[in-house]
Amino acid sequence: MKKLLALFLTVTMVFGLAAALAEDAPVKMTLWTFQELHTELYKTMMEKWNAEADKPKLDIDFQVFPYEDMHNKLTIALQSGEGAPDLVDIEINMFANYLKGDIGLAPMNEYVEPIEDHLVMSRLNNYAKDGKFYGIDHHIGATVMFYNTEILEAAGVDYTTIKTWDDFHAAGKTVLEKTGKPMIVWESADCWSVYPMVNQHGGDWLTPDNQVRMDEQVVIDTLAFMKSMLDDGTAIPCPGGWTHTEEYWGWMNGGNCAAVCMPFWYLDRFTNYMPDLAGKMKVSAMPLWADGGHKSAQMGGTGTAVVASSPNAELAKEFLAYACLTFDGCVTTWKICGFDPILKDVYGSEEMKEPNKFFEYYDQDIFAVLSEVLDDIPDTCLTEYFPAATDIVKTQMAYRLVELREDPEQIAKDCAEELRSQIN
């Protein structure tokens, strides 16, 4: 009893003091992330925030966890209603999990809606439900093609002439013939090859009301195209299974492959893990499909969200908007992380042209490529069953296509069946 009383008194005193010192005492907050790079962005933005006179001072405790475990922890915390942080980074594939039942995240509408026209909204729609925006992304994640010009030149191919996927395939044949090297890799263990290509082609896994689209003709056609490249050796299964393995990085760095198709933020992987390709890599738009589709596709991402039950939720929202939705915040995002920010205003601005390690590595106007495709990036349909669909793509679709070379139509049908059985 005594202890309880003491505790009560302490708590009252602390709150009293906090009220009295409100001007000076910084507000403590916790932020969970799985991406250490993000903390540098937030730290920089927090310093800027604290330097401004009219803002209450913030003291954010940045906690970095391993990717899987952070999401598990968040699931448990939100499920049990206790122990959640104030701000949290949620990976795009996981996001739908937190939009089920009672949503534990706070909507950001009052910050998003006024500047809607300036933002790449297809990005924020990924984190929305019933017209409420729960997550703010740091980048567009527009898929682009990275070409190794050294290999292409050796084969006499000019990458700027590659306009369609058929051109790409034809160039691949030349490269293979002249250099013996494959044009590109397809992932067998993850979805970073299959999904952007299907998505760019106009397909998706699900409709907003969870009708399965996996066995549509556009999916089958896309898979068939990928298989045709595998069959003649212009594409090979990705070493290590996917493009985020040490094995792939080492192999790619050794100049063994002419291209890779990944989201814009992959340029950071080149600068960090493939140092020997500096000056040789060029960024270009994705080849187009002859029969329609889009200029690019969005892949990957992190929705930073405010936990609704946080006592400082309003302040956290304000800070999040400050760090991610302002001009300055978006420019800082590019400078620190090498991301393509979601605020359209920054593109073409002087601030984005200041030299940095990325410009040095690629030696080209990276953003010219980006603004080319910015107006035609399809939405992705991230319903609550999207994680299940992604899992099926990883375990079955990509593997059976790339590793076992099975019939695309059969694969698409089986995968669609599996997904339907999980939904019902």
- Chain residues binding other proteins by CB under 8 A are 30, 34-37, 61-69, 71-73, 75-76, 78-83, 93-94, 97-98, 100-102, 104, 188-190, 237, 239-242, 244-247, 249-251, 253-254, 272-276, 387-388, 391-392, 394-396, 398-400, 403-404, 418, 421-422
Shortest Å, Cβ 415 to other proteins: 10
In the DSSP assignment, the letter for residue 287 is P
Shortest Å, Cβ 349 to other proteins: 27
CA distance 153 to 157: 6
Dihedral angle, C-alpha 251, 200, 131, 110, nearest 10 °:
60
Smaller CB separation from other proteins, 79 or 364: 79
Shortest Å, Cβ 278 to other proteins: 12
Smaller CB separation from other proteins, 44 or 174: 44
Shortest Å, Cβ 387 to other proteins: 5
Structure tokens belonging to residue 227 = 């298989």
Smaller CB separation from other proteins, 35 or 174: 35
Backbone angles phi, psi at 394, to 5 degrees: -65, -45
Element (H, E) at 145: strand 143-148
CA distance 244 to 144: 16
Smaller CB separation from other proteins, 362 or 385: 385
Shortest Å, Cβ 205 to other proteins: 14
The amino acid at 164:
T
Shortest Å, Cβ 136 to other proteins: 18
Shortest Å, Cβ 76 to other proteins: 5
Task: Decide the pairing of beta strands 302-307 and 87-91.
Answer: antiparallel
- What are the Cα distances from residue 37, in Å, to 48, 63, 81, 302, 347? 18, 12, 28, 12, 22
Shortest Å, Cβ 270 to other proteins: 11
Smaller CB separation from other proteins, 25 or 388: 388
CA distance 334 to 329: 9
**Which residues lie across from 147 on neighbouring strands?**
259, 282
Structure tokens belonging to residue 337 = 């992380």
Smaller CB separation from other proteins, 81 or 208: 81
Smaller CB separation from other proteins, 207 or 395: 395
Contact between 144 and 296 under an 8 Å Cβ cutoff? The reply is yes
Beta strands in 14-118 (DSSP E): 27-33, 58-64, 87-91, 105-106
Smaller CB separation from other proteins, 88 or 162: 88
CA distance 192 to 263: 9
Structure tokens belonging to residue 277 = 């390709």
Shortest Å, Cβ 67 to other proteins: 5
- For 265, residues 6+ apart whose C-beta sits below 8 A from its C-beta are 139, 141, 300, 337, 338, 339, 340
Smaller CB separation from other proteins, 163 or 405: 405
